[in-house]
Structure formats: structure tokens, C-alpha cells
Amino acid sequence: MLTLDTHLQLALDLVGVFAFALSGGLVAVKKGLDLFGVLVLAAAAALGGGVMRDVLIGDTPPVGISDWRLLGMAVLAGLITFLFHPGVEHISRVVRVLDAAGLAVFAIGGSLKALGAGVDPVAAVLVGGITAVGGGMVRDVLAGQVPEVLRRELYALPALLGSTLIVAAHHWDVMSFGVIWVCVALVFGIRMGAVILDVHAPRPLRTGDLP
């Protein structure tokens, strides 16, 4: 099976971890948490999805708590947020772009890792989605708020779509680096389009809207 080059995968993981850790640190700062709280939420957002992925596929100890480079990147982003959070808030748009990139990379990478571990296709799709959104859900639960994935612009759906496409490519034996990058770009593009256009998943009618 074709997988991402080890060094490239690490580089992309580091970018995603850094972006997600910034978002986790910002949530902690807005909640008025102390330095430890900022670092905890930064690490939870950055590493939570990967830890869930590895536990689900039986790859223990999870890379999120065993690779010092990923841990170090999460801590670095948390410290940057704690020390310079007014500046970080001003570049929130850049962070959202990086967050979308991390979402795309983690969704595709999560499914690829699951497939490499021999997981069946449906589970591999779900593992990809969990890898992409799990950290943000842990962050928001720790911060005492409804996870953004359940109430903001399209988030989980692009991740699940990308995971489905990469699993289908594996099933039909058309996997290639080109296919991998097309799936990554698709998830990224849909996510950024949803942010720019403020597109949400369908919501139920409010009581006052019912006939």
C-alpha cells in the first residue's frame, strides 16, 4: 500500500499540530485559564485526534504522547499563545487557514494509517474523521462549551468526505501521491469555502418556525 513519505508526513503533522495548538491556546486564553490550562488545551487540540486514532487502531503508545517533536510543537504553540495572545488573535484568519490544512492532512493521514493497520474500510473512514476533529472536541469539552464541530461551519463533513475518497481509492487500487494530494486539497478547499461563505450543515427548525 502507498503511504505518505515518513519525513513529509512528519512535517505535515507538525504544521497541523502547531495550528491546532494555537486554536486550543486561544480558547484557553479567552476562558481566562492560567499557563497550565493554556498548555493543556493547546496539547488537547493538537494531539487529541491522533491519540484517539492510534488507540482505535491499536498502535500504542500513541505517537501524540511518545514523539517528543509533536509534544514540543504543541507546547511551543501554547507558550506563544500565552505570551503573545493579542497578536495571535490578530492573525486568527491565518490560524483558520492552517487549521483547515491540518484538518485535511489529519483526515487523509488518519485513514491511510488505519488502512495500513488492516482496518476495514468503514472503520478507516471513521478513524480519519476522528483524527481530524477529535482534538477540537476534546479542547471544547475541557473548556466547557459545545464543540465547534457541532455548531460552526462545515467541519466534520469535509473530513469524512476526504476520508471516504481515500479509502475508495485504496479499495479500487488507484492509490497514488496525486490522489492523496487531490483528497487533501479537496478537504481544504471545502473547509475554507465554508468559512468564507459561512456555510453550515442543515439545522432543525426552531420551535417558532414550525407550522
| 169 within some domain | yes
pLDDT of 52-110, one tens digit each?
A: 999 999 988 998 889 999 999 999 999 999 998 887 777 667 777 877 888 998 999 89
pLDDT tens per residue across span 161-192: 999 999 999 999 998 888 988 999 999 999 99
Q: Is 11 within the bounds of a domain?
A: yes
pLDDT band at 208 (very low <50, low <70, confident <90, very high): low
Global confidence as pTM: 0.84
Q: How many domains does the chain have?
A: 1
Could you give the 3-state DSSP secondary structure of residue 12? helix
DSSP 8-state assignment for residue 148: G
Q: Does residue 206 lie within any of the structural domains?
A: no
1 domain residue, yes or no: no
DSSP H or E run through 28: helix 6-30
In which domain, by residue range, is 14 found? 6-200
- The answer to whether 21 and 32 are in contact (CB under 8 A) is no
The reply to whether 27 falls in a domain is yes
Asked whether residue 207 is domain-assigned, the answer is no
The gap between the terminal CA atoms of the chain, to the nearest Å, is 54
In a domain, 211, yes or no: no
